Amino acid sequence: MKTILTKIAVSVLLFSVSLPATVTAQQLSARDIVKKADEKFNGELSGYSVMSMTIVRPSWQRTVEFKSWSLEDDYALTLITAPAREKGQTFLKRGTEMWNWNPSINRLIKLPPSMMSQGWMGSDYTNDDILRESSVINDYDHSLEGEEEVDGRLCHRIRLTAKEDAGVLWSHQVWWVDKKDFMVLKAELYDEDGYLVRTERGMDLKTMDGRLIPTTIELVPADQEGHKTVLKITEIKFNITVDESFFSQQNMKTIR
């Protein structure tokens, strides 16, 4: 299941998937574990969520609240509900294209390539994070690096190394995957020169719509002291009734 922010919050929509009866956790390879974790947020047809995003800087912070609807990997519509000066703005994703509707100036903007590196709503997440498509299964090689605890939960530590011919943003990633529920509780992302770019954490595990998920996602840039972005899920529904026609430029202007 994908919301407009799911691609940039690796563990935001993880849910329980039963292991086959013939496979135990001890028998799983690093690739198997990554696939299990990936399926937990890629396995849904559609969804709806209510979230807040707090952008923290050394001298200030602000919070943006929004609702998101999604259908498979290709369609997402997000409505900003707060603060007042940005309320009513919408963002539409269809495939690899993205638009923004701003009611205060009555203008629909298709985001050009030059805006892809800009922060979404001023956060540490970028528009490119939202649109970039890659497969953590097929674009990376996987290796187990042992076990470590994250917030008191025992995790597999797994290194994902980009294949030479893969057009991906990260040269490698390190994931900490909960051994019991296959949730990604921590991820480190490295650039092509091997430098750490950012760290993501999944916290505040709660059951929502019958599924155990991290309800807080924290992103911390490595090279910007005092900067971070915190996503909080307040409501989530899986497999809602919605079709492709919902994700239209016309609906961007009328959704509430």
Q: What tens digit of pLDDT does each residue of 149-184 get? A: 999 999 999 999 999 988 888 999 999 999 999 999
On the question of pLDDT at 194 being above 80, the answer is: yes
The whole-number average pLDDT for the span 25-44 is 78
Residue 210: which pLDDT band, with cuts at 50, 70 and 90?
confident
The percent of residues above 90 in pLDDT, for the chain, comes to 64
- Distance, in Å, from the CA atom of 192 to the CA atom of 236, rounded to the nearest integer, reads 35
Residues in contact with 209: Cβ distance below 8 Å, sequence separation at least 6, in sequence order: 236, 237, 238
Average pLDDT score over the chain: 85
**pTM metric for this prediction:** 0.84
- pLDDT tens readout for residues 87-101: 999 999 998 889 999
On the question of pLDDT at 15 being above 70, the answer is: no
Query: In sequence order, what DSSP letters do the residues of 134-177 get, joined into one string?
Result: --TTTSEEEEEEEEEEETTEEEEEEEEEE-TT---S-SEEEEEE
The whole-number average pLDDT for the span 124-134 is 73
CB contact at 8 A, 164 and 155: no
Domains recognised in the chain with CATH numbers: 6-252 (2.50.20.10)
